[in-house]
Amino acid sequence: MIVESYQTIQLADSFCHALSAILRRFDIPQEAERIVLNCRDPNYYRSRQGLHPVEIQFKRENNESLWSIAFIASFSYQNDRHDSLDVELYFHLANRWCYQPDAGSADLVQPAVLDLFYSWCSAFERHLAKQALQDIQLTMIR
């Protein structure tokens, strides 16, 4: 259901299966070509502690195509004084780059950056397995 290979970046089968299982929970219109999955821990908004919100955008050519991940972003409050969330990590698989506010942009296939990405995916997969993100929503982008 989800593309596993993005040029030199190979997603773990288990990560793709976990995302596919979530997507199967939703009735996705056949004409949908872009969808956004939002995963949230409501406690984070109240206490600023817990799992940070994650957004994953998927795209496909047509209803026969597999979904490919366009990007993955996680968000956080930058400090105790901010009332709005900001991007803390942004992985753009299609264009192979990563963004982190403190470090700027980097090529996603650099070994250290790719290690960060794989570690992030592994941690996110564990959170999904534990059902730690209670608010999961899917939106179609027109």
Q: What is the pLDDT of residues 76-116, one digit of tens each?
A: 998 777 789 999 999 999 999 999 999 999 999 999 999 99
CA 31 from chain centre, in angstroms, equals 22
Q: What is the pLDDT of residues 81-90, one digit of tens each?
A: 778 999 999 9
Which run of H or E residues covers position 24?
helix 13-24
Q: What is the pLDDT of residues 30-71, one digit of tens each?
A: 999 999 999 999 999 888 888 999 999 999 999 999 999 999
- Give all domains of the chain, ordered by start, each with its CATH number: 5-140 (3.10.450.430)
Q: CA-CA distance, 66 to 61, in Å (whole number)?
A: 8
Mention every residue, 6+ apart, whose C-beta is less than 8 A from residue 22. Answer: 37, 128, 136
Mean pLDDT confidence for 118-141:
96
Query: Coil, helix or strand for 111?
Result: helix
Q: What is the pLDDT of residues 23-40, one digit of tens each?
A: 999 999 999 999 999 999
Share of the chain above pLDDT 90, in %: 88
Task: Measure Cα distances from 4 to 13, 20, 48, 90 in Å.
Answer: 7, 11, 33, 18
Q: Is pTM, for the whole model, over 0.85?
A: yes
